[in-house]
Amino acid sequence: LRICLVNPAYEPTFWDLRQVPGMPADSVLSPNPVLPLLAAHVPFDAEVALCEENVDPSPLGEAWDLVGITGYSHQSRRMIELGDALRSRGVPVVMGGSQVSVAPELFRPHADVLILGEAERTWPRFLEDFQRGEHRQEYRDDGPVVDLAQSPRPRLDLLQPANYLNISIQTSRGCPHNCEFCSVVRLQGHRVRGKPAAIVIDELDGAVDAGFGSVFVADDNLGAARSQTLELLRACAERQVRTGAALPLFAQTTVSFAADRELVDAAVAAGVESLFVGVETPNAESLAAAGKDHNLGGDPVIRLRRFHERGLNVQAGMVIGFDQDGPGIFAQQLEFLQEAWVPVPMVSLLVALPGTRLARRLAREGRLDPDFAFGTAYQLTSNFRPAQLSAEKLTEGYVWLLNELFSPTLFMERLTRAASSWPPGDRVPEAGGSGGFGMAAVAQLFASFAELGPAYERATDTAFRLLMDNPAHTRKLLYALLYWRHIVSLLQRWQCWDPETASR
């Protein structure tokens, strides 16, 4: 059997750096970990290929006995197009993933088979049925949740490390919280299921062997199961000592992680370099209404600064457009992010994803646009109108905020404050592999700022000094600068970059 597993193409997003001039066109942040995982779960001898359509769509033109398509909400349109095109050529198509699991009715007409929910047991069962010519149209695992202790080593050997900046490795599933706008609990459940540390370490060794040089921890919420996380981080620290090389880690967590000194110490020792922190909003009323009460304890500004003071770079996830947000929210977000020294925040408009409590509530209230095309962060519109803001004011305020945040003065102010708070330290030699930046790429990055005008050119002088003064933090600084350039390119691409704001 010849099987091809595809991650469909998406429009440029916050999450890949393809828009940075001079960056290779294939700078996707990291592969969707599901493809190498499904490849490892094929229960018989078969030829399996992985296709990252964002980089190289050519494998899709080959003759396959079966094509498997994954995807998140923003890939829905492309998933459907691909399904239709492949089936018109007579290729059987199977689809799965988060969006298929929460909105199967969208995909049924475009696939031969849907696999809903976790697929560790149903995917091999389907393949056996398929080979016998007796498969069903839909598989849903009604058994107990999957035990990650049974995870096989993903087939990372089928990936091209040069296409990616990091590898993604999942170490747990589930979250004990239940924020109104999030579908994680519906997809993964309330109980956090950790992968035993020994299996994760084996996967990390496999990632380095396959040529990857840094790791994105694809968990919902690192630290949600405290003792599991501590055990894992300690095993990563031991691995670093054993190999004598740093393997930088990036992970997602919540603000409360900063309040736990033992967890933060363990993260630093494990080689965690950056944390994507779900801060969402400085508006406490919005947090309370969204059920994100765990962000309400303590002062978030102090907590985010605490991450920086331990050398952990913070990428904050921020959201605008809650019913509790009034016209002042844009300025409030700006002030908060400046105060908290977050160099590269990801600010999104609140969108109601299918399968969330938010989508159900808005549908009940008759407020949900059913024909909305889901995008990613930096989507300029939403599928509902917040109570206190018109659609026009929402987009206008959002574009204003992005321009202000990424104007040279305000961006460099945050980066300088963050970098000055990172402790000086010795640089641990890195394992090498994907995700490193050569001198030529750095020179090209700096040259590309000059194209944006004198204010950017002046800012890069400051950036250059920061790089010289903080040799232990070169990678974090370069990533921040790359994201900055990337975001400016996105704003230009979407014709909402304001040269006047950018001149300050």
Site residues (CB under 6 A) for ligand B12? 10, 13-16, 29-34, 37-38, 68-70, 72-74, 94-99, 101-102, 115, 118-120, 123, 168, 170, 173, 182-184, 187-188, 216, 218, 220, 348, 353-354, 376-377
H or E segment to which residue 501 belongs: helix 499-502
Residue 429 CB, shortest distance to ligand SF4, in Å, is 34
- The item of ligand B12, ligand SF4, none sharing an interface with residue 437, based on CB under 5 to 8 Å by kind, is none
Check residue 114 and report its DSSP letter: E
Residue 422 CB, shortest distance to ligand SF4, in Å, is 26
The letter for the amino acid at 382 is: S
462-500 residues labelled b (16+ CB within 10 A) or e (exposed): ebeebbeebeebebbbbbbbbbbbbbbbbbeeeebbeee
Among 30, 168, 228, 254, indicate the residue that binds ligand SF4 (CB under 6 A).
254
- The item of ligand SF4, ligand B12, none sharing an interface with residue 377, based on CB under 5 to 8 Å by kind, is ligand B12
Residue 68 or 278 with smaller CB distance to ligand SF4: 278
Q: Residues 340, 342, 347, CA angle at the centre, nearest 5°? A: 110
Q: How far apart are CA 465 and CA 467, in angstroms?
A: 5
Distances (CA, A) of 92 to 66, 120, 205, 245, 431: 5, 20, 35, 45, 41
Strands 47-52 vs 313-320: parallel, antiparallel or unpaired: unpaired
- The item of ligand B12, ligand SF4, none sharing an interface with residue 73, based on CB under 5 to 8 Å by kind, is ligand B12
Residue 188 CB, shortest distance to ligand SF4, in Å, is 9
Crossing angle between the packed helical segments 329-339 and 408-421, to the nearest 10 degrees:
40
Residue 28 or 182 with smaller CB distance to ligand SF4: 182
Query: For the chain, what percentages of helix, strand and coil (3-state, to nearest 5) are there?
Result: 45, 15, 40
Among 211, 278, 354, 375, indicate the residue that binds ligand SF4 (CB under 6 A).
278
With contact defined as beta carbons under 8 Å apart, do 434 and 165 qualify? yes
- The item of ligand SF4, ligand B12, none sharing an interface with residue 278, based on CB under 5 to 8 Å by kind, is ligand SF4
Q: How far apart are CA 163 and CA 171, in angstroms?
A: 23
Question: Phi-psi bin for 366: left (phi > 0), alpha (psi -120 to 50), beta?
Answer: left
User: Residue with CB nearest ligand B12?
Assistant: 96
Surface-to-core class of residue 393, CB atoms within 10 Å of its CB (0-12 exposed, 13-18 middle, 19+ buried) = middle
Residue 254 or 315 with smaller CB distance to ligand SF4: 254
Residue 355 CB, shortest distance to ligand SF4, in Å, is 12
Q: In the window 171-230, what residues touch ligand SF4 (CB under 6 A)? A: 175, 177-179, 182, 184-185, 220-221
Residue 476 CB, shortest distance to ligand B12, in Å, is 17
With contact defined as beta carbons under 8 Å apart, do 369 and 383 qualify? yes
Residue 182 CB, shortest distance to ligand B12, in Å, is 5
Residue 100 or 481 with smaller CB distance to ligand B12: 100
Distances (CA, A) of 36 to 109, 311, 330, 417, 429: 27, 32, 41, 40, 28
Residue 452 CB, shortest distance to ligand SF4, in Å, is 34
- The item of ligand B12, ligand SF4, none sharing an interface with residue 177, based on CB under 5 to 8 Å by kind, is ligand SF4
Q: How far apart are CA 284 and CA 290, in angstroms?
A: 10
Count of residues engaged in binding ligand SF4, rule: CB under 6 A = 11
Residue 53 or 220 with smaller CB distance to ligand SF4: 220
Crossing angle between the packed helical segments 226-243 and 261-270, to the nearest 10 degrees:
30
- The item of ligand SF4, ligand B12, none sharing an interface with residue 179, based on CB under 5 to 8 Å by kind, is ligand SF4
Residue 216 CB, shortest distance to ligand SF4, in Å, is 15
Interface residue list for ligand SF4 (CB under 6 A):
175, 177-179, 182, 184-185, 220-221, 254, 278
